[in-house]
Structure 1
Amino acid sequence: MTNRHTITVAGVEIDTRHWIGGERVASAGTFPDHSPVDGGLLGGIARGGAAEAQAAVAAAKAAFPGWAATPRAERARILHAIADGVEKRLEELAQVETHDNGALLRSHRRGVMPRVAHNFRFFADHLLALGHEDFETRGHTNHVSWDPAGPCVLITPWNAPLMLATWKVAPALAAGDTVVLKPAEWSPLTASLLADIAAGAGLPAGVLNVVQGLGSEVGDALTSHPDVRRISFTGSVPTAQRIAASAAARLTPLSLELGGKSPLLVFADADLDLAVELAVEQYDNAGQVCLAATRLLVEESVAEEFTRRFTARAARLVQGDPRDAATDIGPTIHPRQVERIDGFVRRAVGAGARVVLGGHRGDGLFYAPTLLTDVAQDSEIVQEEVFGPVLTLQTFTGEDEAVSLANDTRFGLAATVATGSHERAERVTARLVAGTVWVNCFFVRDLRAPFGGARHSGVGREGGDWSFDFYCDVKNTVTAPGGWGSRG
């Protein structure tokens, strides 16, 4: 039965209130959530502020001692139960997320939602294996342990809402921390469903809290709260700077996964068909991917042939309704985002860039897959993150120039290299400034690997042991030899 606090999206009933201390909590006001699929209003979402932030952190603080003391095996069992709940509702989650953020339904079904469940299973299992061999120093025993840190504030983006939320939530819960999750206001719905799934899996009240709202209203209140022990954020550099400034007063540890302006280096000895497929893949999710290699750097001797093959391949992409299995590229998420993308392209063309492909808006929130050439290295379109289906193409004549161009931005999130030479791959990847480098592949991710960016692309690493190092206080206990008997 629906009420004024629930909406129905794709046949799925969703509570639009916050989840705080194991209960649904309303706010005096709401904010609208529109679907990028057709622009329709999905509903009004509870608009949290300072009061809701205070309540959520208080709930997380109260729940922390009990959850931190919960044995590892029991925490792992509950995380696996959450994964079971995700898998049982996978189709519902996929449908809701597609309506909420416009990404392809087939991607949500095949990859994104299964990865959500895997996030919980991986960190549950990794928790049970987490450890370090004791070692000796002059006969003294050193024992390393990972102690739960406390309440965590997790702020997540709109481009892959549930997957990126659980990439943070799962290790934080596994570590024994309690969580206040603040989802992006443009795509908040699956976070509400996650709260239901976690409660159904037996997660104690207050261990996971979900607070919705605008960053300037509730986000600031969360990141400046004195009882918060960790802050993890994925999003833009300007927002990260504000969060870091807020956290600095209390030296709250931060993990920041930020923007990218990643290069794809195509050498003349590369398999050009493979290189073209890698380049076209950068249009995935309408280009709204932080890792996207939006700067194509192609060796001059093969640039003309590469461009010919690329434009022919990209022209076959189908742009349309993300619920249609035949669609390759859906809409951008919000009117502000499509305006932003179009502004970048118009300014680039005004500065002398040449449009090889696309370069224009479509109906609604669609933007045509775009390729620009004749761009200067210091131009805005080369230096700043567009976060849309817009690529640039530049040429180089050798490894030194390729690496110089690749590293010549303030970012360093990822890089992709296409080459037929193993030796060249080793030389080039060693010189690239990036948190992740792919060679003759793209977006191959293992949760055991560290993930994060260099320069303005982020602070810290997460994944595997690195996640536990962040979400825990790592402690070394040194014990002297002998001396355990009582004094006479």
Structure 2
Amino acid sequence: MADRIVVAGVPVDTRHWIGGRRVASVETFTDHSPVDGQPIGEIARGGPAEAVAAVAAARDAFPAWAATPRAERARILHAIADGVDKRVEELAIVETTDNGALLRSHRRGVMPRVAHNFRFFADWLLRLDHDDFETRGHTNHVSWDPAGPCVLITPWNAPLMLATWKVAPALAAGNTVVLKPAEWSPLTASLLADIAAEAGLPAGVLNVVQGYGAEVGDALTSHPDVRRISFTGSVPTARRIAASAAANLTPLSLELGGKSPLLVFADADLELAVELAVEQYDNAGQVCLAGTRLLVEESVASEFTRRFVEKAAALTQGDPRDEGTDIGPNIHPRQLEKIDGFVQRALGAGARAVIGGRRKGGQYYEPTLLTHVA
């Protein structure tokens, strides 16, 4: 296995990052680009051995990092943010190649938000304080103490941004981290390890282990030295993680998406409502907070639908690297099958496809609006 691949001109190390150094695995898995379905490279495939090594590195690094003064931790987090800012273009093109989201979105919003996440928690850390207070003759003191090694398991739809929503606060609080990125989009996590090391983050404070959940993920979440677990993803996987965590009473947080509706009443600004509704196709609809159900008051439903169809027809679907593209591909053939299954079952149950309802070739699915649903 090559230790490095070049993605759109950007070198990316395909090995794990454990204890401040690159670590290879005997086995690999193939990372494919959803843009064209072509293989990007072979990625180190972690298992129990890599999980044990990463947790050990995080455990060993924890006492010194926890004892590091807040101002110094904040300084390093700002240095990581500076490193992200310098590499926005590289991070953007690698992530677009890896997960298929729009390059223009990565450049203008997503990667700048990655840097902002580190800056926000660095600044928040320095403001975290509470005066002592008296109750019935007793002095009360409030402190914030780091927990220890944290396992952070992140999704594929906004890989780096959602990873830093977990990594930045964990590091700010004085915890050490083992980050396990989704196997469908692992590349920018590897680049984050490089940036963090260049910023002066001590060895072992951030570790990145790649691989499949059933192999390395289970070994991480069941490890008795792990003090916190955070997971964003599916309900079935969350159940498995919760069972692993329960054996050691490891506290965990789960973010499992949702199906919240977008509500449109008769007195709404219909133009604004339609604009927001069509925006739910962002990232090919692969957004956990997308309002994928539209509940529209009957008296305005026909006009709303007419305007929606008109606006959606103006969207351009295609290569996410092109500036004029509005909708890119779905992340993986399995995801495409899942989406088509939703649509076909709905059509079979009597729904009507006002627009879309079909695959478009490759990993692209037409923007779809179904009406007459139960």
TM-score, normalising length from structure 1? 0.76
What secondary structure is seen at the aligned counterpart in 2 of 1:318? coil
Query: Equivalent residue for 1:466?
Result: none
Letter aligned with residue 121 of structure 1: R
How far is 1:251 from its partner? 1.1
Of 300, 313, 316, the match for 1:302: 300
Counterpart position of 2:53: 55
What's the counterpart of residue 29 of structure 1?
Answer: 27
- After superposition, residues 449-488 of structure 1 pair within 5 angstroms as none
Q: Which runs of 4+ in 1 moved over 3 A?
A: none
Report the Cα distance in structure 2 between the residues aligned to 1:28 and 1:374, rounded to whole angstroms. 53
2:203 aligned residue:
205
Structure 1 residue 349: Cα displacement: 0.7
Residue 73 of structure 1, CA deviation? 0.2
Q: Distance in 2 between matches of 1:351 and 1:300?
A: 21
- State how many pairs are aligned: 374
Cα distance in 2 for residues equivalent to 1:133 and 1:321? 55
- Taking the aligned partners of 2:346 and 2:304, their CA distance within structure 1 comes to 22
Instruction: State the match for 1:388 in structure 2.
Output: none
Q: Could you tell me which amino acid in structure 2 is paired with residue 339 of structure 1? A: E
Deviation at 1:221, TM superposition (A): 0.4
Structure 2 residue aligned with 1:137, among 135, 138, 159?
135
1:375 alignment partner in structure 2? 373
Q: Tell me which residue corresponds to 1:78.
A: 76
> How far apart, CA to CA, are the structure 2 residues paired with 1:65 and 1:104?
41
After TM superposition, list the pairs within 5 Å mapping 1:96-245 onto structure 2. Answer: 96-245=94-243
Pairwise CA distance, 1:133: 2.5
- Could you list the runs of 5+ residues in structure 1 that have no partner in the other structure? 377-488
Partner AA of 2:85 in structure 1: E
CA deviations on 1:89-146 (whole Å, 9 max, x unpaired) are: 1100000000000000000000000000000000000000012222111122101000
Measured after TM superposition, the shift of residue 339 of structure 1 is: 1.1
Distance 2:273 2:5 in 1: 44
List per-residue Cα deviations over 1:127-179 (Å, max 9, x = no partner).
00012222111122101000010000000000000000000000000000000
- Who is 2:362 aligned against? 364
Cα-to-partner distance string for 1:172-226 (whole Å, 9 max, x where unaligned) = 0000000000000000000000000000000000000000000000000000000
Question: Based on CA coordinates, which of the two structures has the bigger radius of gyration?
Answer: 1
Q: Displacement of 1:259 after TM fit?
A: 2.1
Secondary structure of 1:87's match?
A: helix
SS of the equivalent of 2:58 reads helix
Partners of 2:361 and 2:302 in 1: how far apart?
Answer: 31
- Alpha-carbon distance in 2 for matches of 1:325, 1:50: 42
Deviations 1:348-378 (A, max 9, x none): 11111111110000011000000111111xx
Q: Any unmatched runs of 5+ in structure 2?
A: none
1:46 aligns with 2:44: yes
For 1:314-393, list aligned pairs within 5 A: 314-376=312-374
CA RMSD of superposed structures (Å): 0.7
AA aligned opposite 2:273: A
In the alignment, the residues of structure 2 paired with residue 196 and residue 231 of structure 1 have an alpha-carbon distance, to the nearest angstrom, of 23
**Length-normalised TM-score, structure 2:** 0.99
Aligned-residue offset at 1:250: 1.2
Rounded to whole Å, the distance in 2 between the matches of 1:254 and 1:374 is: 40
Partner Cα distance (1:228, 1:164) in 2: 21
Judging by fraction of residues, say which structure has more helix. Answer: 2
